[in-house]
A and B are shown apart, each in its own frame.
Chain A
């Protein structure tokens, strides 16, 4: 962005109706477009916990993307000579009941979790944000109807709604992601509605309305960019929730199906061999815990960074 000063025309005399030749220009500092973003970035970077969260999320994303190159073994390759081996130099996290390398499966499991996190949050945002904005900006009966629907969805606890949806849609990772996304949408409706109502009271929205902008343009060009910070925080927290939800559904057998690796389904299998191979229960659970903690740290950090009072 240019930092050149703006040349603003100022009338020389007391009357604004002075002829053009009498107008002189003075240099005033160019307003910083990112005045609200840069302090937020600085505030975010000052929080070690938030930066650590971002780094760990980035690490998990990198592991998920580079799984074929990082995994030491084929995650689905069974070996009758390596059944339930404790962690050792050849298999850092040991092997499972079919002789598969646990480390390789944890690495591939990151793919299911990160994919579930990203897609579920995207589905929830795609469904929830337009509805929330519509409710917040339209008000009246539209707001009342959307509010009642959201209340009804929130009346069913998150995981039970996701289980019910997954039960009827069918057990698969894709359907689990849809179920999680739909179940998480009401939270986005609430956040978008509140933020949109808040933004709608600003003078620039009034100005945009009086200039004759159509409602869709006001919503997309003026409201949406200004409600992005709370939505970003909600999306980050929703991704953490989605990772636990995906692991929970896979643990119950409603998510990723064998032999594909998923942290939840690995924990399900580990239950049967708890006394013989306790390491099977440790590493996938630790991966879920670390990933969710990282998303929560990142979400908390973003919320504090965007909140001027917390700065």
Chain B
């Protein structure tokens, strides 16, 4: 098991190198000279020359990449000329906000998706199954930022139950923090709940058809025990991997949801940076997102090995 995980860990190295190459290469997509683009409203040749020198644009591309990569390995993601702070410091400020949202969203997704998938499989070909499938399809098809706008209208404006926007850190006032994040987290969670529901249903249908479930029933075990202790335990194994993949959906979704709810997180940082032409921040955010996503996949691999006895002994 350990060898299998170590080999998986080693495979991550070339992937991360390629991601870094891709992120570095983004700058090459800028139309024209990046120094001129970054100079923006100050096309003074002296300013352009200064930018070119500071960003090492006057050096060969390979040197620029290796210098940038060296910085990455030291945790230096560059400098935001617009905000006047290191990119890593900016990300460190904003990341906890998005991680709080993503974690809450994940809990909502699992909390809705798994029970709905189990019920749908148990009540196969009934109105419950049909309703779960329709809601699942709708959940996959609906743009989450639209649902966010509609829920603000209903829950915050019409009913006045929650604040429509803003964010309070958990450390400052946990109740107010939950009040400002519960609705965006719900919207994020419903987005992945549909996918989790579909996979849980499919895995449960497979599990319920297995010999060990038939044996459990033949032994006279109650249906509740058969479903929860035998079928669901096995059905959840592929759902764990899916959960990690959905982490990427949560991060993508957070970009839009943070805009809708005016939450100063990771997503809002990247969008603001796009409009401020703060390209170092955009590159830093993409790199950190990739590292987080790869990390989530590795955690899923490890969990998969731990919870699946067949792989544990392999």
Point out residues on A near B: beta carbons under 8 Å: 148-149, 151-153, 155-161, 163-170, 240, 244, 247-248, 251-254, 267, 270-271, 274-275, 278, 281-282, 285, 288-289, 292-293, 296-297
Contact = CB atoms under 8 A, between A and B. Distances in A.
Interface in B9-31: 14-16, 18-19, 21-23, 26-27, 29-31
Contacts of B19: 152, 155-156
B152 interface: yes
B215 interface: no
Contact of A148 (B14, B137, B259): B14
Given A152-B19, A168-B26, A168-B30, A159 B141 contact: no
Contacts of B137: 293, 296-297
B248 A158 contact: yes
B15 A151 contact: yes
Contacts of B138: 289, 293
Contacts of A275: 153, 157
A252 to B, nearest CB: 6
Contacts of A157: 248-249, 251-252, 289, 293
Contact of A152 (B22, B31, B146): B22
Interface in B267-310: 270-271, 273-275, 279, 282-283, 285-286, 289-290, 293-294
A88 to B, nearest CB: 20
B149 A270 contact: yes
B221 interface: no
A79 B26 CA distance: 42
A152 B18 contact: yes
B150 interface: yes
Contacts of A153: 22
A143 to B, nearest CB: 14
Give the dominant DSSP class at A's interface: helix
A24 to B, nearest CB: 53
Interface residues of B, number: 49
Contacts of B23: 164
A163 B140 contact: no
B185 interface: no
Q: When A and B form their complex, which 8 residue pairs have the shortest distance between CB atoms, in order from nearest?
A: A285-B146, A152-B18, A159-B252, A157-B248, A168-B29, A167-B274, A293-B141, A292-B141
B271 A281 contact: no
Given A271-B260, A293-B138, A251 B145 contact: yes
B149 A267 contact: yes
B22 A158 contact: no
A155 B293 contact: yes
B53 to A, nearest CB: 22
Given A156-B289, A163-B271, A293-B137, A169 B146 contact: no
Given A155-B19, A160-B251, A293-B138, 5 more contacts: A151-B15, A152-B21, A152-B290, A156-B286, A168-B27
B238 interface: no
Contacts of A274: 149, 152-153, 157
Interface in B129-147: 137-138, 140-143, 145-146
Contacts of B118: none
A213 B94 CA distance: 57
Interface in B145-169: 145-146, 149-150, 152-153, 157
B205 interface: no
B256 interface: yes
A28 B289 CA distance: 62
Contact of B275 (A164, A240, A253, A297): A253
Contacts of A240: 141
A203 B145 CA distance: 50
A281 B256 contact: no
A271 B165 CA distance: 12
A169 B293 CA distance: 24
23 contacts: A148-B18, A149-B18, A151-B15, A152-B16, A152-B22, A152-B290, A156-B293, A157-B249, A157-B252, A159-B252, A159-B253, A163-B274, A163-B282, A164-B23, A247-B143, A248-B143, A251-B145, A252-B256, A252-B259, A252-B271, A285-B150, A288-B146, A293-B138
